Amino acid sequence: QVHLVESGGAMVQPGESLRLSCAASGSIFRVNLMGWYRQGPGNQRELVASIASGGSTTYSDSVKGRFTISRDNAKNTVYLQMSSLKPEDTAVYYCNADVVRLGMGLKSQNFWGQGTQVTVSS
């Protein structure tokens, strides 16, 4: 009933920029924490960045200064602006959100997007 739909993944060259988007839809009362994770070949899934409903953010050390996470609460959408991309940024990027569903009380549930491929290569 709650779905996260991602877009923006692509193949780019090192140094270029890319913006990922993820919109939550369905029976939603409130979207709390939202974040982006990634999983590269042979790697564990790792947190890239997160953003609370009030706007506070966290970043992985590997992307600090290069990536910016933001959100549009009215659209239940989270964005990841990626700049100065490096080959090591190549991964499947997953959107994640804690959602309070309509009629389900105050307890949030965690949802994942389908993942979108980002490839950084020359």
Contacts 24+ apart (CB under 8 A), 46-50: 48/80, 48/93, 49/80
User: Judging by DSSP bridges, how do beta strands 116-120 and 11-12 pair with one another?
Assistant: parallel
pLDDT at residue 1 in the model = 85
For 39, the token pair is 């999983």
Q: How confident is the model at residue 14 (pLDDT cuts 50, 70, 90)?
A: very high
- Could you give phi then psi for residue 7, rounded to 5 degrees? -155, 160
8 Å CB contact between 2 and 99: yes
pLDDT at residue 117 in the model = 98
Mean pLDDT score of the chain, rounded to an integer?
A: 97
Convert the pLDDT of each residue in 34-83 to its tens digit.
999 999 999 999 999 999 999 999 999 999 999 999 999 999 999 999 99
